[in-house]
Structure formats: C-alpha cells, structure tokens
Structure 1
Amino acid sequence: MSAIGDAILTLPVACCLRDHFPDAYIGWVIEKKSAPMVRGHQDIDSVIELERGWFTSPKAIRQARATLREHRFDISIDCQGNTKSALAGKLAGAKQRIGFAGKHAMELSRFFNNEKVTPVFHHVTDRSLELLTPLGIHHPNVRWNLPLDSEERRWAMSYRHSIRSSRVAILNPGGTWPSKLWEADRFASTARYLADRYGYHSVVVWGSFEERLMAEEIVELSNETATLAPDTSLTSLAALIETGDLFISGDTGPLHMAVALGTRTIGLYGATRPGDSGPYNQVALQLQYESGSRRHRRNADNRAMRAIGVEHVCAVIDEMHTDSIARAA
C-alpha cells in the first residue's frame, strides 16, 4: 500500500484477475505516494487512495471504512500481509478475505483475514499470485501493463532523441535505505566502461535532494559519459526508463519500473534478497548480505553493497552483450 516497488511487483495480480474474471469490478487500495503506479491501469476499475497513517486514528479509520464500503467488495486479497493491508479488507466488508499463513502473515493480519494461503514461492510477485489459488487460479501469466501517459511518453522520446548516442543506459543511484546505496564513483566508472566498450551514454536519474547531489557527483566523475536527468515525476521517470537500453540500480521502486516496462535491468543487492524482491526475470548481483531484522538492515551502512565491485557489474554487462550478439547471429 505504501512502497512504490511493492505496488509495481503486485500489479500482475490485477492483470491476472482481469484475465480470469473479465467482468469483475476490481479496486486497488493504496496510499497516495504510490498511487501513480496503479492510477489509470487498464485492468483496475477504481483506485482508492488513502493518506499515509490512515489507520492510526479512530476518525481516519471510520473515514476509510466509509470510503471502502461504497464499493461493496465481495473479496479482498491482502498481498502486503501486515496490519493495515488486512484491516483495509476487513473495513471494506469483504466476506472472503484472502491473506497469507505462516511467516508472511505479519503483525495482526492473521486476525483480519479469514482464508489463509501458505506460499511456496519466495519472490513477492509469485507469492502474491499464489493468493489467487482460492479463486481457482493456479497457473497465472505474469504481465504488468504499467500505466503510462501518452504525453509523458512523447516527452521521454523527445528527451531520448536529444542524446546523440545509439545506446542509452539509465543509472539510478538512489534508494530508500542507506544500506541499499552503491558508491557514486562506482556508478561513474561503470558509465565510463559502458561508453568506452559499447558506445552508451548514461543518464543519471534522481528523486530527492540527496539523490541529486549523488547524481551530480556521478556525472562529474564520468568524464562526460553521463548526463544528469531532468526533474521528473514518478510517471515521467517511468516513461524515461522505458526509452533506455539498460537500467542499473539498487533495490528500489524505479528498478521494478524498469522490469515492468521491459528494459534490460541489472539490480544491485546488499540489504535485501533478490529471491524475495529481485528484478523479476532479470539480472541481480549480490555478493554479501546484511543480515538481521528489517530495522537493522534499514539503518545499516552500505558495507554489503560495497562488496559489489565495478568489475562484477562490467562482467554482467559483457555477458549481456555477448548474448545479444549470439542471438543476432
């Protein structure tokens, strides 16, 4: 409901429901920050946007209940598996409330959901799709259909054509946790390698002020092989990513945008596991893992990420391009 990446990773659930129940009314409950990732999706009839912290006061809970009840939902599917996501299904009045059993039923979710599924798979996308088994869906197709505005697509293509290079790599140095960050000088070295070896020009994207400072450092160290991306919204960022030939990032929302849009992706992992939230059917690199509780991993330094060297990323880049040459032959 709140994480951009998790919202994207769960989009195949809506797509699959539409495939199997073409006449169903499908709603998505989400917090406002992540709403652009599902708003306007072709398989979703209604996006119900709640304020952050909506579940922390009696008044806000009553307001959420009134909003959700208007939709008269029969079934809720709790893909997040925590208190607020399960509570949303309960407040909506859904009689069949499907959620996780076992370790993925976090906090109070097990008390709000009344039909439990023990997942076999680890990845968030596959695990979420398993929640559809009580509805008779056992072999789902995975598709995303990330909603993009045609005007933003036109802007992104115009920006792409302004770069005089046949290949564009998009580098995303940002991340929500310090422990997910790779070093600026390593991104810059990767940009130089991409330019020297394969003729890429790199575009460095950013969101927050801190991310912009890191992006500017990468550009400065890149020997003119990288450019700072313009300020973008979430959806215009997605449109820009769609125009790229390669996307390199830590585990964060834009990484999963790239996967959903079909851009070749290299994910860099240290504080999270690729088996759980890796770039779906794309490449993930992890040499060390920052073990411990979620709180510890969120607040740890980026030691595990620093175990990934530029040479490791460049080796993957070489493998990708060797494979492309082999397929072309």
Structure 2
Amino acid sequence: MSEFETPLVSPRILISRMSAIGDAILTLPVACSLRDHFPEAYIGWVVETKSAPMVRGHRAIDTVIELQRGWFTSPKGLLAARAALREHRFDIAIDCQGNSKSALAGKLSGAKQRIGFSGKHAMELSRFFNSETVAPVFHHVTDRSLELLTPLGIHNPDVRWDLPLEPADRKWAANYRNSIRAPHVAILNPGGTWKSKLWEADRFASTARYLADRYGYQSLVVWGSFEERLMAEEIVELSEKTATLAPDTSLKTLAALIETSDLFLSGDTGPLHMAVAVGTRTIGLYGATRPGDSGPYGHVALQLQYESGSRRHRRNADNRAMRAIGVEHVCAVIDDMHADSIVRAA
C-alpha cells in the first residue's frame, strides 16, 4: 500500500481531464470505476467548458467544475479556479491528462493525495504538482488512465462508459432514425480538428455507395463546423443519393443519433469515441495518431501509414498518411463485420 493510500470509505475525489471531447470520453471509465469501488464517495471532475457536456450529468459524478480555456494564464483565473475547487474539499486528485494545467488543478484543489503519471506521460510541469506517480504499463489512454487508480486499491476494473444522454435526446434521435426508410444506417463523420486526420470526401462517398449497393444502408453524414458542413455536402453530392446530410446537432443529440445507427466511420476525433461509448460498431481511420494510444476502444482501427514527428508537425501536416487508406480497405472491414454478424446469427 502507498503511504498516501486513503482508508476513507467515502473519500472526496477529483478527476482532472480538461482537454478534447474525445479525451474526456476516453476517461469516463475512471469515474465509473471509482463509483464502483467507493459507492459513497463524492466524485468531482474538473474540465474546460468545451468538453463539459460529455461529463455533465454522468451518474458516477457528483459535480462538474467548469473552467474557461486559458484559466491558468492569469492571476485572476488562477484565483477563481482555486476558489471553485477548494469549496469541494477534495481528499484525492487524479491527473488523467498529465500536463501542467491538469496537475495544477489538482494542486489548487487542496487535495493531499495527488496521483499522476511518471515517465513520458508526465508532461511539462505535472510531476512537480503531483504527490504520487504511477508508471503506466498500457498504451491506450483509457487503460493507462485506469492504472492511476492502483494506489487506491483498484485493479483490473471493468471498462464501461455510461455516457450521459438525456431521454429527450434519445427520443429525438429515435424519431429521426425512424424517418429514414432503410434497413441499416451508417453514420459517416468526415470532420476532424487536424487536416492530417481527414479522409477524402470522394472516398466517403464511394463507401456510402458500397454500403447501399451491398448491404442496403443509407448513410448519414454528420458535421459540426461550417467547413465540415461543406465537406459533408460534397460527400452527399458524390454519393448518388446513398448519403444524406445530417441535421445540426448538439454533442448529446449527436451521441444519441449515433446510438441509433448500425455503423460509424470516422477519423480520430471526438464523435468516434462517442460511437464506442454508446455501443455502435465503429471503424476508425488513422494517419497522424496511433490507434494504440487513442483508437476506438475494442473496435476496428485502420492505419496503413503514420505521419511521424512532433505533435506540432503532425497537427500541421497534410493528410498523406490518411490517403494511404483506400476505399477497398474500408470495404474489406465492412465485409468482415457483416460476415461475422452472419456467423453469430447462425
């Protein structure tokens, strides 16, 4: 046992994971495992506003502390964050992100036991703010985040997500799905925060045509930003009526819509991990990131080339590594999925 290990039956625990939507989703199993192990615990999550919808309302989490982006860059922001965190009187802080701001949030909370990563996953100044470190064995974000629970006596926990979706969102999504007169629906997500994560519009369209011709799918193309909508419209135009433009959605209505679908195809971005969390069969396309680190957990990831280099380089690179993935590679995975479904049904 660690010298910091708490004997408390109902500890007050802070999870610190602030960054991208997908990263927040990938960390949700930490909250589920803490709730399983400490049913009477008070569990909080500190997050930046953009990703807050993915944790707000989660049944394992008692409170969500939202901080504005850049909160740590001014004395006023630091003092406000400290006040917001201190009022919850946390005993334990778990730094699942491993960088300066996530570890600093734990320090500002006043928690005496602050657990974070050691080694290459302890980035920037995080090792100076955490009081106890864990050297992760696993590579995937979800698995190595769960390793941070070992000082609390939690080993080999079940992995589940319990993504918080409202009944109204599910009702809307079910009604929309029922308006699509096709036996199967695939959701195609062409967007991504990095250009190097984008697959080509004509390849999405060709995949939609294959899904329709071979298996009777209607594809639905989702989008977020104005640029993503333009790409989605191009896919619809090239699809020969086998794909439809999705309506505007919030993060939670998007997740509910994905839950109603039979297949989800996307590059490495937040909605990909939503699909995993709601249990939809998922195919992830990878070029500038590694599936071993952030792949669709327990689902299929395709990578034929990797854009190596620093994070800044990979973020600013073109999509040559993604272009190595051909339509034939994706269609082969789709065929395997359907063959497996037939075998299971037999």
Q: Same fold (TM over 0.5)?
A: yes
Alpha-carbon distance, 1:224 to partner: 0.1
- Indicate the residue corresponding to 1:325 in structure 2: 342
The alignment's TM-score, normalised by the length of structure 1, stands at 1.00
**How big is each residue's C-alpha offset from its partner over 1:229-287, in whole Å with a ceiling of 9 and x where there is no partner?**
00001111011110000000000000000000000000000000000000000000000
Q: Distance in 2 between matches of 1:138 and 1:147?
A: 25
Unaligned runs of 5+ in 2: 1-17
**Matching residue within 246, 258, 268 for 2:285:** 268
Question: Alignment length, in residue pairs?
Answer: 329
**1:214 and 2:234 matched:** no
Alpha-carbon distance, 1:297 to partner: 0.2
The alignment's TM-score, normalised by the length of structure 2, stands at 0.95
SS state at 2:164 partner: coil
Alpha-carbon distance, 1:12 to partner: 0.1
**How big is each residue's C-alpha offset from its partner over 1:298-319, in whole Å with a ceiling of 9 and x where there is no partner?**
0000000000000000000000
Q: Distance in 1 between matches of 2:200 and 2:190?
A: 8
- Indicate the residue corresponding to 1:30 in structure 2: 47
- Indicate the residue corresponding to 2:140 in structure 1: 123
Q: Give the % identical residues.
A: 85
Alpha-carbon distance, 1:2 to partner: 2.1
**How big is each residue's C-alpha offset from its partner over 1:201-245, in whole Å with a ceiling of 9 and x where there is no partner?**
000000000000000000000000000000001111011110000
Task: Return the letter of the residue paired with 1:247.
Answer: F
Alpha-carbon distance, 1:30 to partner: 0.2
Q: Distance in 2 between matches of 1:2 and 1:288?
A: 26
Q: Distance in 2 between matches of 1:166 and 1:132?
A: 43
Q: Distance in 2 between matches of 1:201 and 1:237?
A: 17
SS state at 2:187 partner: strand
SS state at 1:175 partner: coil
SS state at 2:65 partner: strand
- Indicate the residue corresponding to 2:321 in structure 1: 304
**How big is each residue's C-alpha offset from its partner over 1:176-216, in whole Å with a ceiling of 9 and x where there is no partner?**
00000000000000000000000000000000000000000
Alpha-carbon distance, 1:41 to partner: 0.2
Q: Distance in 2 between matches of 1:56 and 1:166?
A: 52
- Indicate the residue corresponding to 2:66 in structure 1: 49
- Indicate the residue corresponding to 2:149 in structure 1: 132
Task: Return the letter of the residue paired with 1:44.
Answer: I
Please show how residues 184-223 of structure 1 align to structure 2 within 5 Å.
Answer: 184-223=201-240
- Indicate the residue corresponding to 1:229 in structure 2: 246
SS state at 1:55 partner: helix
Alpha-carbon distance, 1:139 to partner: 1.3
Unaligned runs of 5+ in 1: none
Please show how residues 102-117 of structure 1 align to structure 2 within 5 Å.
Answer: 102-117=119-134
**How big is each residue's C-alpha offset from its partner over 1:2-50, in whole Å with a ceiling of 9 and x where there is no partner?**
2000000000000000000000000000000000000000000000000
SS state at 1:170 partner: strand
Task: Return the letter of the residue paired with 1:185.
Answer: D
- Indicate the residue corresponding to 1:99 in structure 2: 116
**1:248 and 2:265 matched:** yes
